[in-house]
């Protein structure tokens, strides 16, 4: 995992880029929901697409904090 992180850290997406956020995590009962949940990991998903809309490169970054 560290090798992939080091390799991708300097990569910059260009041209047409689509961005979205996500909160993947396991199910649990009780506690807070959404962005305030303690058991979720906030991510930013970025996809570089070709002019026709075909995905070329995907990048996932964990948001700090």
Q: What is the pLDDT along the chain (65 residues), one digit of tens a residue?
A: 678 777 777 777 777 888 888 777 756 666 676 666 677 778 888 899 988 889 988 888 888 76
DSSP readout, the chain? -HHHHHHHTT----SEEEEEEE--B---SSS--GGG-TTB--EEEEEEE-TTS-EEEEEEEEPP-
Q: What is the pTM of this model?
A: 0.59
- Which pLDDT value is given to residue 27? 62
């Amino acid at each position: 995992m560290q090798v992939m992180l080091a390799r991708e850290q300097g990569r910059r997406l260009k041209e047409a880029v689509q961005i979205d956020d996500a909160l993947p995590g396991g199910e649990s009962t009780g506690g807070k929901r959404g962005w305030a949940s303690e058991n979720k990991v906030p991510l930013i998903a970025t996809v570089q697409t070709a002019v026709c809309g075909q995905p070329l490169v995907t990048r996932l970054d964990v948001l700090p904090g």
